[in-house]
Amino acid sequence: MTGRVQRLTAVTRPKIEFLFDGQPLSGQQGDTILTAILSNRGALRAAEFGPEQRAGFCLMGACQDCWVWREEGARLRACSTQLHAGLRLRSKAPDGWLS
């Protein structure tokens, strides 16, 4: 699947490159991590308690549905974290880490 979200302005802003699950992707300056990933993908991660995918739910930092991980291990809320160049993100906690 291509991106889930649709950009509603024609203005294109400077590209920002990042990695998600080892794949190089690009977002735009001003994007949150959620916007950037969902411009390229249909979901952020797999649900832990069911077969479905998750892509965030409330976008205001309350539901904790949009978790992604840095390769270094830190967990981020994709809806409220700004994208910056060179981020290396994962849809799962690094092996051996508590999620």
CB 19, min distance to another protein, A? 21
Give the position of tokens 């990042």: 18
Give the CA-trace dihedral at 82, 44, 9, 24, to 10 degrees: 80
Which part of the chain contacts another protein (CB under 8 A), choosing from 17-25, 41-49, 84-92? 41-49
| Of positions 21, 56, 68, 85, contacts another protein by CB under 8 A | 56
| Structure tokens that stand for 73 in this block | 């291990």
Q: Using CA atoms, how far apart are residues 87 and 65, in angstroms rounded to an integer?
A: 20
49 contacts another protein (rule: CB under 8 A): yes
Compute and round to an integer the Cα radius of gyration of the chain.
13
Residues lying near another protein in the complex (CB under 8 A): 1, 4-9, 11, 13, 28-32, 35, 38-39, 42-44, 47-50, 52-65, 74-75, 79-80, 82, 98
